[in-house]
Amino acid sequence: MIRRVFLLTVALLLGACATLPQQGYNREANQHIKKIQVLTMPQANVRLHIPNHIGYSFGLIGTLITEANRNSKETWLQDTAKRAQFNQFQDLQAALTSAMDAKGYELIWPEPLTDSKGVKRDGFELRKKYAPVDADAQLDLGFMYIGYTASAAEKSSPYRPTIELSVRLVSADGKKVLYAEQFRYHNVLDNKEAVILEPAPEHRYPKFEDLEKADLTVIDGLRGAVLDVANAVAQQL
């Protein structure tokens, strides 16, 4: 449990300050790129957090109590996502295929969509190495976070759908980065460098009880967030 809390704290701290070196996409110099191989994505569960919750400031006991409370809420959200048959990878696949098709790109998706064991990733959930692919380029996508977050444990800081997605487009031979960017839907950690997307106002839940009352509707908030992020990615390419 203590190890988990420590890892969680480190992950949230990293998420606050770490930013992927941004690289724009040179559309004109890469006009030959039409068929893109999408690589398998890292596993990412639906999560629920209040970063820097005041409870974490009250020593080990405070941290354990806060974490136990968060854990039960997160379990509820994960169960609700299951009941709604929500699969963020499939949603991203559908939304990105459609948005990229509209721009003249053909995406080739792997089966299954997520990693098998042995794929080494960096702190941005992107691959450390790339192998050649049979396409014009390869697209690496990694959810750093998907779920609900609130800025604080108070009504004026409601729970909102949240996504952090890292994106890297790499040449077919795996040797050259063509585009790199981080997208954040609901900037709960006040990141200064990622592309920021505003959360939908209709999915604003002041208390956890409001999330429970909304039941399956909260998953519509996550679906909308995935759609908005996919459209923003396609817009850049």
Partner 1 sequence: MNRALLLLLSMLLAACASKPRTEAARFNIDPQTCKASIADVAALPVTRVAAYKDRFPKSLRFEKVATCLRSDNGGALPLVLMDLGPPAALEVQVNLIMRSEVVLAAAIDLLDAERRLIRSVPFERFVRRGGAYSGSIFLNEKDADVRYLVLRPDPDAVGGKNESISGVAQTFSAVFVSGGTLYAVNSVTRSEAVLRNWLSEIGDFQVRAVQQ
Q: How many CB atoms lie within 10 A of CB 85?
A: 9
24 binds partner 1 (CB under 8 A): yes
CA distances from residue 197 to 125, 212, 219, 226, 228 in whole angstroms, order as listed:
20, 25, 18, 11, 8
Angle at 114 between CA 38 and CA 141, to 5 degrees: 45
For tokens 């996508």, the residue is 141
Is 35 within 8 Å of 108 (Cβ atoms)? yes
CB of residue 103 to partner 1, shortest distance in Å: 16
Site for partner 1 in 190-219 (CB under 8 A): 190-196, 198-199
Segment near partner 1 (CB under 8 A), from 69-77, 82-90, 129-137, 154-162?
154-162
186 binds partner 1 (CB under 8 A): yes
Segment near partner 1 (CB under 8 A), from 25-33, 69-77, 164-172, 209-217?
25-33
70 binds partner 1 (CB under 8 A): no
Q: How many CB atoms lie within 10 A of CB 225?
A: 26
The helix-helix angle for 2-17 and 59-83 (nearest 10°) equals: 80
152 binds partner 1 (CB under 8 A): yes
176 sits in which H/E element: none
Find the binder of partner 1 among 15, 51, 147, 221 (CB under 8 A): 51
CB of residue 208 to partner 1, shortest distance in Å: 15
User: Which stretches of the chain bind partner 1, using CB under 8 A?
Assistant: 21-24, 26-29, 51-52, 54, 57, 149-152, 154, 156-158, 160, 180, 184, 186-196, 198-199, 236
